[in-house]
Amino acid sequence: MKHMEVLGVRVETPSNQPLVLLRESDGGRLVPIWVGAIEASAIAFAYQGTETIRPLTHELMVSMIEALGEQLDRITIVRVDEGVFYSELHFASGVVVDARPSDAIALALRSGVDVWCDDSVLEEAGFEPAQEEEEEVAQFRDFLDHIEPGDFA
């Protein structure tokens, strides 16, 4: 398992498909995970720490977890099967729950817990960015500083 950093959400061109981009914390490999527009908005809200008037679904889930006396410990991206990513929510009690990566990442960001990725996922879906891709990641970070969740509608 490798610790991952959530770089944020972007819209891939020319398909206009949103993706969440993860980077290996102690390496440099990137893992792009394509998500839906609604999921992209949820991740962007959480990434930016946007406060909402009423709880959104992932905020509600965090409140429910806490109300039930549980604590989210970490999330893991556990496998890729024919381009579909799978993840798990790991709770302090030892309970493990299957989840879509987009939901797991939104919960991790809202809960302040770590994102981990199985080595096999990094081998299959990860890639080392070229120099121009590193510059693109820097531009991406700048883009994230100015994007609004409503931009994914």
> What's the per-residue H, E or C state across 59-120?
HHHHHHHHHCCCCEEEEEEEEEECCEEEEEEEECCCCEEEECHHHHHHHHHHHCCEEEECHH
**Distance (Å, rounded) from C-alpha 111 to C-alpha 90?**
12
Mean pLDDT of 72-81: 97
Check whether 135 has a pLDDT greater than 60.
yes
pLDDT at 130 (0 to 100): 77
Residue 11's H or E segment, with its range, is strand 2-12
What are the Cα distances from residue 72, in Å, to 88, 92, 94? Answer: 11, 6, 10
- Tell me if the domain spanning 2-152 has CATH number 3.10.690.10: yes
Please check whether residue 20 is in contact with residue 40, taking contact to mean a CB–CB distance below 8 angstroms.
yes
**Domain ranges across the chain:** 2-152
Angle between helices 57-67 and 101-111 (to 10 degrees): 60
Helix (H, G, I), strand (E, B) or coil at 8: strand
Check whether 134 has a pLDDT greater than 60.
no
> What is residue 146's DSSP assignment?
T
Partnered with residue 86 across adjacent β-strands are 79
Q: What is the pLDDT of residues 11-60, one digit of tens each?
A: 887 788 899 999 999 878 999 999 988 889 889 888 888 888 888 899 99
Check whether 145 has a pLDDT greater than 90.
no
Mean pLDDT of 81-87: 95
